[in-house]
Amino acid sequence: MARVVVLGAGIGGLPTAYELRHRLGDRHQVILVSDRDYFTFVPGLVAVALGHNSLERLQLPLETLSRQQGLKWVKGAVQRVDPEAKKVYLPEQTLDYDYLVIATGAELALDLLPGLGVYSHSVCTPAHAVAAYRAWQEFLKDPRELVVGAAPGASCFGPAYEFLFLAEHTLRRQGLRDRVKITFITPEPYIGHLGIGGLANSEQLTLDLIAQRGIETITNAEITAIEPNRILLGDGRVLPFGYSMILPSFRGAAFVRASRLGNEKGFLPLLPTLQHPDYPEIYGVGISVHLQPLQTTPVPTGLPKTGQMTEEMAIAASHNIAVALGELAADPVVPTLDAVCFADFGDTGIAYIAAPVIPEAQGKHRRLAYAIQGKWVSWVKAAFERYFLLKMRRGLSVPWFEQWGLRLFFGISLVRPLQPTVFPQKQPLIKT
């Protein structure tokens, strides 16, 4: 019996554990490690920060889920991994593993920018969303300037756009919009770039909505510091605010850096099969992995790792581990890194589609790259949230009918066979 340890129980870790349990049956042990008691549907935290939803509705108890799905749940913060001895060190115990999946996400690099997270808010963690909501309630009592955006090096821009439009929508509904100047600041070279660029209609659709709502924008924005009630930019401009929500950049988890498994930023370098190039029994899933930015921008931006991309990695990693254990008579697979992102803007929304996010060859066009707007996007986003939480309750990852729907309606696939002619062994798709 092999021991497969999954570190992290978020959108990457929990589906990975479910996939492994499904593929390995009771012939092998699957251990789920998390420093938190609850699974949280992180994409819903924007709504929590603005009071549109409660945190409790986005959370599920991990101990209960693990027991119901035949997983061994271990609570603890990982301190270090010894890849030679195949051990995971927690504060109160040490776990041996035969295979290890690192799906803990990343750290928020708040310390890279003076005042970030001190005088501004974010929606990246449950605690941050709750704090942002409390501050938002105070802001509504005396609304003034609102500044929303992202710090240099940020890679996940969707939540910034969602917060921007949902906040504006909230102010309009409460009759406060004419009292608030709203400014969106982003390191993106243009609105709707999203860290990847090249999406047809993305810039125009987003700019049209911004113009309709009277929002000012600053692109190529390099925030140098955040002080009480003002943001300093590299070009000398100073933006006053009564409330600010600024997304930070990410870096790899502290234990990955301490274990010397990551690159200079602590992200995991991986082969196409999601295996660590030096330790093939270690796999990476989600935000913890390194994805090479597609282009250099005047102000640094990272490449987003969406929830769907994370689920694709979860399927591929669990499939490949099952193959390695002899439980699945199949060839290894790799994630397609196709992505569709539904952004709820209140009274409308935009779906951003990129397939794949990372073209298979430099200079090659994506198969699909476009954005589409409509009220239906908001409905789909709300329905998907309920559906995802239902999946987590039932022990499902990405069932066949979801994969079928993604392929039918959006032309999106999740994994594909490893093709040595395109990706030679030891030549990483995800560059180090």
Average pLDDT over residues 291-306: 90
Q: What does the alpha-carbon distance between residue 36 and residue 17 come to, in Å, rounded to a whole number?
A: 16
Task: Judge whether residue 430 has pLDDT over 90.
Answer: no
What confidence score (pLDDT) does residue 365 get? 81
Q: What does the alpha-carbon distance between residue 127 and residue 213 come to, in Å, rounded to a whole number?
A: 30
Higher-pLDDT residue of 6 and 427 is: 6
Average pLDDT over residues 170-183: 97
Average pLDDT over residues 85-100: 97
Task: Judge whether residue 18 has pLDDT over 60.
Answer: yes
β-pairing, 29-34 vs 3-7, is parallel
The model's pTM: 0.93
The answer to whether residues 162 and 344 touch, using CB atoms and an 8 Å cutoff, is: yes
In this structure, of 52-56, 362-366, 404-408, 421-425, the range with the lowest mean pLDDT score is 421-425
β-pairing, 238-240 vs 72-75, is unpaired
The answer to whether residues 358 and 335 touch, using CB atoms and an 8 Å cutoff, is: no
- Reported as a single tens digit per residue, the pLDDT across 28-65 is 999 999 999 999 999 999 999 999 999 999 999 999 99
What confidence score (pLDDT) does residue 382 get? 95
Nearest to 313 by CA among 73, 3, 15: 15
Query: Which ranges of 174-258 would DSSP assign to H, the alpha helix?
Result: 202-212, 254-258
Task: Judge whether residue 319 has pLDDT over 50.
Answer: yes
What confidence score (pLDDT) does residue 432 get? 33
Q: Which two tokens stand for residue 225?
A: 């510091």
Residue 417 φ/ψ, nearest 5 degrees? -65, 145
Active-site residue set: 156, 341
What confidence score (pLDDT) does residue 363 get? 56
The answer to whether residues 61 and 73 touch, using CB atoms and an 8 Å cutoff, is: no
Sign of CA dihedral 246, 252, 258, 260: negative
Average pLDDT over residues 319-331: 96
What residues have CB less than 8 Å from 32, skipping those under 6 apart?
A: 6, 9, 13, 14, 17, 62, 66, 71, 72, 73, 74
Banded model confidence at residue 294, pLDDT cuts 50, 70, 90: confident
Banded model confidence at residue 8, pLDDT cuts 50, 70, 90: very high
What confidence score (pLDDT) does residue 292 get? 83
Task: Judge whether residue 364 has pLDDT over 80.
Answer: no
What confidence score (pLDDT) does residue 359 get? 81
Sign of CA dihedral 224, 43, 357, 393: positive
Enumerate domains of the chain plus CATH numbers: 110-247 (3.50.50.60)
Average pLDDT over residues 155-165: 96
Task: Judge whether residue 429 has pLDDT over 60.
Answer: no
Query: Which three-class secondary structure state does DSSP give residue 232?
Result: strand
Instruction: Kindly state the DSSP code that residue 294 receives in the 8-state scheme.
Output: S
What residues have CB less than 8 Å from 204, skipping those under 6 apart?
A: 192
Task: Judge whether residue 171 has pLDDT over 60.
Answer: yes
Query: CA torsion, points 186, 189, 193, 195, in degrees to nearest 10?
Result: -80
What percentage of the chain reaches a pLDDT higher than 70?
96
Task: Judge whether residue 422 has pLDDT over 90.
Answer: no
- Reported as a single tens digit per residue, the pLDDT across 123-147 is 999 999 999 999 999 999 999 999 9
Mean model confidence pLDDT for the chain: 94
What confidence score (pLDDT) does residue 327 get? 95
Q: What does the alpha-carbon distance between residue 342 and residue 349 come to, in Å, rounded to a whole number?
A: 7
Average pLDDT over residues 243-268: 96
In this structure, of 79-83, 281-285, 408-412, the range with the lowest mean pLDDT score is 408-412
- Reported as a single tens digit per residue, the pLDDT across 101-123 is 999 999 999 999 999 999 999 99
What confidence score (pLDDT) does residue 362 get? 58
- Reported as a single tens digit per residue, the pLDDT across 376-398 is 999 999 999 999 999 999 999 99
Task: Judge whether residue 300 has pLDDT over 50.
Answer: yes
